A and B are shown apart, each in its own frame.
Chain A
Amino acid sequence: MRKQNKRLAFVLIGLTGVSIATWLVLTAFRHNLVFFYSPTQVLEGKAPHHGIFRLGGLVKKGSIKKNGLKTTFTVTDLRHSLVVHYTGILPDLFRQGQGVVVQGQMVGSSVFMARQVLAKHGANYMPPDVEAELKHSMAMKAKAQS
């Protein structure tokens, strides 16, 4: 075997080995690498019961109630939802219908006390007039269907 072929084989086998090892590690840690839990997972008891964890979902429409710096809103994954209490400044992208990740802990069985509220941004970018048009056409579509 020539030296070059030996080194080529070494690189290819090594890379395959490292890839497999990484894949195994990532699979093993899959559940620990979760950045947030959905309300359904929390209600199923998959999130830590007493510790701090992150809850993610959509801010339910019409659920935001503000009183000074105190905000109460509902986080939903469209199957289950949890009420969240938070005191502090909210990020710019926090609004109803928007994705949100809140860090804190459960108080009782259905109330979440948040220490930090993070807004999750979607992958969509468009100018405001296009968004208005899109909303308009979707409303027309819904009307035509009903």
Chain B
Amino acid sequence: MGEFGGFAGVSRLIKFIHKYGAPKRFYRLAGRLVPWFAGVTALLFVVGLYLGLYWAPPDYQQGDAYRIMFVHVPNAWMSMMAYVIMASFAATGYIWNVRLADMLAKATAPLGASFTLTALVTGSLWGKPMWGTWWVWDARLTSELILFFLYVGYMALQASIDDPRRAAHASAILAIVGVVNIPIIHYSVYWWHTLHQPASLTLTSQPKIYITMLIPLIVMSFAFMFFYFTMLLVRVRSEILVREQRTDWVRKLVGSKQ
């Protein structure tokens, strides 16, 4: 019988996380990974922006204005993906008391919030000339705005409780409850009449984007994804230092740099 969790597989996994997910070990591992992730991110951005702004042809209806999609769509995807990741980390930390998971969830929140805000702002900038309005209260736009408030609420709750463990527990509940919003965002364009168009890319059907426009979109999506992982590692490293500041290894580490 494993000590943690309900299932043998899960309990073994949690044991593994406890062993290798020790903050000290992870701090070093993340430090080694950051330059690689940052390098891949920079490369993907250079290639993606070149393809998106120069190589891709203009659209038959929107001309060059559609190019904002190369920033808008990856940010909208990442806003949802980051939320699912954040809620999963928060749940792991809450259920199995994995401190590193708590820290990863906390480190994700501002990144997710900035993806959401970027998606909202770029969508608005595109909406004014194309739709004829900066903002409408349709189901897609409203549910994405709620996602932004969920991130902000999560961060506010974290900040309002001093004890890190209690802060993590309380905000984990909020993060988990907020997960119901994710399918709503995704399906809003199918469930209701919305001004926002339905997805151009789905797993089940032919893409509705021409291949020369699709390639830059995919490269830019990976660029923002790697940007997220890079920033997550950087942020979680500093979070580890703050929370472990009373331990010997952090004192040694900080002392040796002075």
A contact set with B: CB distance below 8 Å: 4-5, 7-8, 11, 14-15, 18-19, 22, 26, 30, 33-36, 56, 89-94, 101, 116-131
Known: A35-B195, A122-B197, A125-B208. 16 other contacts (CB 8 A): A4-B96, A5-B6, A8-B95, A11-B91, A15-B177, A33-B192, A35-B139, A35-B192, A92-B65, A121-B61, A125-B66, A125-B69, A126-B213, A127-B60, A127-B212, A130-B60
Structural contact, B192 and A11, CB atoms closer than 8 A: no
Q: How far is the CB of A72 from chain B (nearest CB, A)?
A: 17
Q: Given the known A-B contacts A4-B4, A35-B193, are A116 and B132 also in contact in the complex, defined by CB atoms under 8 Å?
A: yes
Q: Which of A14, A123, A130 contacts B200 (CB 8 A)?
A: A123
Structural contact, A124 and B208, CB atoms closer than 8 A: yes
Rounded to whole angstroms, the CA-CA distance of A72 and B116 in the bound complex is 38
Q: Which of A7, A30, A92, A120 contacts B95 (CB 8 A)?
A: A7
- Check B83 for interface membership: any CB of A closer than 8 A: no
Residues of B close to A19: CB separation below 8 A: 180
Rounded to whole angstroms, the CA-CA distance of A26 and B146 in the bound complex is 15
Structural contact, B130 and A127, CB atoms closer than 8 A: no
Query: Could you tell me the dominant secondary structure of chain A's interface residues?
Result: mixed
Structural contact, A91 and B131, CB atoms closer than 8 A: yes
Q: How many residues of B contact A (CB 8 A)?
A: 45
Residues of A close to B210: CB separation below 8 A: 125-127, 130
Which parts of B82-104 form the interface with A (CB within 8 Å)? Answer: 91, 94-97
Q: How far is the CB of B19 from chain A (nearest CB, A)?
A: 17
- Check B59 for interface membership: any CB of A closer than 8 A: yes
What are the 7 tightest A-B residue pairs by CB atom distance, in nearest-first order?
A91-B132, A127-B57, A131-B60, A126-B210, A123-B200, A125-B209, A128-B60
Rounded to whole angstroms, the CA-CA distance of A92 and B97 in the bound complex is 54
Residues of A close to B177: CB separation below 8 A: 14-15, 18
- Check B136 for interface membership: any CB of A closer than 8 A: yes
Rounded to whole angstroms, the CA-CA distance of A14 and B174 in the bound complex is 11
Rounded to whole angstroms, the CA-CA distance of A90 and B132 in the bound complex is 7
Pick 30 A–B contacts, CB within 8 A, sort by A: A5-B6, A8-B95, A11-B91, A15-B176, A15-B177, A15-B179, A15-B180, A33-B139, A34-B193, A89-B132, A91-B129, A116-B132, A118-B133, A119-B130, A120-B195, A121-B131, A122-B208, A123-B197, A123-B200, A124-B200, A124-B208, A124-B209, A125-B69, A125-B208, A125-B210, A125-B213, A127-B57, A127-B58, A128-B58, A130-B60
